[in-house]
Chains A and B, each alone.
Chain A
Amino acid sequence: MHTDRLFLNNPVLIAGFGLAPIVIAATTLSNALVLALGVLLMLTPTRVLAAAVCSKVPAHLRLLVYALCAGLVYIPTYMIVRGVFGVGIEAVGLYLPLLVVEPIIIKRAERPQPETVMMALRKGLATTAGFLLALFLCAALREYLGLGTLLGHPVAAGAPFPLANYTAGGFILIGLLAAFWRWCQNLFKKYVNLEAKQEL
């Protein structure tokens, strides 16, 4: 249960990582696509590269190594994202380069034990999947509520909740979504416990 990063231990809605790009930049699904490609190309390669290097690095320098690895991985990532989205990359502004120090990518460096390359690969992919799920969910919800559109196509007569498109609305909406996620999580845990008791 603890290793499930998609639902039960979602890195954004349960652990609270990667909030800055989601709160500010994920206001539409097209912005979310830019961020998603950036995270997809950065998170796992950074973690694998840092895991390969960190086995011989003292603990107090690990964060520096993780951030430098992320900075290195960012160079090809930027070129690919720029190639795919062109000027669309400007829509997420600082929040794409800011991924190099985003806790969702470098937080693992703060644990006392360095991880193996295989574990970094496995957990990197799982964390990426969890982040992308939360990212698209928040972006779709914010685009619908804030603009009344989905991927630019109108789906409502107006904007049902225009504040969703702003920073304050982002915080509030993600807070509400995190509470809903926990409620679902508690329901699921209760169901699993009930099943286990019935089997006994």
Chain B
Amino acid sequence: MTIVKDLLTFFMYAVIAIAAQNAVFTRAFGVSRLIRIVDSGELALSKFTLMLTVVQLLSAPLAFFANRLLSGISLRSALRPLVFVLCSGIAYLIVLLVLGLLSYKTQIKSLKDYVAVLGAATFNCSVIGTLLLTATGGYTLLQTMGFALGTALGYGVALLMVSEGQRKIQNRNVPSTFRGLPITLIYIGIIALAIYGFTGHMPSI
């Protein structure tokens, strides 16, 4: 029964993070990066989302335990960002090492694409923002992991929605001054407004 309850908690937090508290549409985490990715059209969205998910899931437990160590220190608010960057840095190095070993052993050429997006997927407001949110919100380890998974998948969903929207709004009917960044921001704003319709306004700060 406890296992079922834990699983439910995990998935509930994951679903909340994907939809009702989507990192991009409700908190604007990583929105600058998202717009760059969608605008450039060079990065494979699935590869970026996969790397983001792996890094997020590796750094979340590290940050959870690091935050516990910080709890007795009076300067923890000042130290937390550095410690969380270190946690995501460790996750980055682990993934880089694994990709390097895989590339050496299997000669799969597409692994280079994963290495190319790894930095942008790791040092991202979405990763550090989630770590800060779960640490300051007093989440348990299970809740932290569920929320981390949901945030990464939610970021992937946002990437997909914005790139699909971008494809449809990049036509001649859009005035030239609105093309690119302005129309993308307005489009994200309208999706954020639609999410309000389902969830109501929740303070993002």
Contact = CB atoms under 8 A, between A and B. Distances in A.
B125 A20 contact: yes
B129 interface: yes
Given A24-B28, A68-B85, A75-B82, A175 B184 contact: yes
Contact of B28 (A23, A64, A68, A75): A23
A175 B183 contact: yes
A13 B29 CA distance: 17
A67 B89 contact: yes
A191 B27 CA distance: 39
Interface in A18-71: 18-20, 23-25, 60, 63-64, 66-68, 70-71
Interface stretch (A97-105, A119-127, A192-200): A97-105
A186 B186 CA distance: 20
A167 interface: yes
A136 interface: no
A169 B192 CA distance: 9
B8 interface: no
Interface string A90-126: 0111110110111110100110000000000000000
A14 interface: yes
A171 interface: yes
B205 A93 contact: yes
Nearest to A65: B89
Contacts of A180: 177
Contacts of B79: 75
Contacts of B119: 60, 63-64, 109-110
A98 B29 CA distance: 9
Contact of B189 (A24, A60, A63, A172): A172
A76 B193 CA distance: 37
B201 A18 contact: no
Contacts of B189: 168-172, 175
Interface in A66-90: 66-68, 70-72, 74-75, 78-79
Interface residues of A, number: 55
Interface in B105-143: 115, 119-120, 122-125, 127-129, 132-133, 136
A98 B125 contact: yes
Given A97-B132, A183-B177, A18 B185 contact: no
A71 B189 CA distance: 30
Nearest to B79: A75
Contacts of A110: 119-120
Interface stretch (B10-18, B30-38, B150-158): B30-38
B149 interface: no
Given A68-B82, A167-B26, A172-B185, 10 more contacts: A16-B181, A19-B28, A19-B32, A20-B27, A71-B85, A75-B79, A94-B133, A94-B136, A94-B205, A171-B192
27 contacts: A19-B31, A20-B29, A20-B30, A24-B28, A24-B204, A24-B205, A63-B119, A64-B89, A71-B85, A78-B77, A94-B136, A100-B128, A101-B127, A104-B32, A163-B193, A167-B25, A170-B189, A171-B185, A172-B190, A175-B181, A175-B184, A175-B189, A176-B182, A176-B186, A178-B181, A179-B178, A182-B182
